[in-house]
Amino acid sequence: MARTISTPAVASLETRSIIIDATRCWRSARDSRSPVQPALYAALAAHSCAVLTPVLDGVLALYETCIGRRLRAGASGQAEISGDEHDLLDLLAGPEDDAPLPGSVNPGLAGTLRVALRSARIMLRLALEPCDQAPTLRLLAPA
């Protein structure tokens, strides 16, 4: 049996803004050696989606490991987004299956990153879409 779920609407301005805010908060907490999850929780709670804290913390940490360097994030309140933030938004927007990863991603970690992105997409959809538009998991009969 396979489960299907569609990709989150990361293209929406509100969702993109939440992801960028979370990324910048995560970067700031890491740089200041502050506990990351409490800071990220507070930032996400302001958008009523604190449940995304462990998901985004994990994806951001893995993404940074995969690119082999510090993730570059813009300053809080800055309108322009960094190249890494742009890549991250593209990755979270999908498509689900074998989407091209940035060339800087460690090939040995590509599969792990794909799984983390798939999980993050599901959580973003469940946490950020209105209940009446949230997808339902559908079990498919074996072919």
DSSP string across 29-69: HHHTT--HHHHHHHHHHTTT-GGGHHHHHHHHHHHHHHHTS
Residue 59 belongs to what domain range? 7-129
Q: In this structure, is residue 135 part of a structural domain?
A: no
Count up the domains in the chain and report the number: 1
For residue 139, the 8-state DSSP code is E
Residue 24 is predicted with a pLDDT of 96
Q: In this structure, is residue 143 part of a structural domain?
A: no
CA distances from 70 to 24, 26, 27, 48, 81 (A): 12, 12, 9, 28, 16
Q: In this structure, is residue 140 part of a structural domain?
A: no
Query: For the chain, first and last CA: distance in Å?
Result: 9
How do residues 101-121 score in pLDDT, each as one tens digit?
A: 777 788 888 888 888 999 999
Q: In this structure, is residue 78 part of a structural domain?
A: yes
Q: What's the whole-model pTM score?
A: 0.80
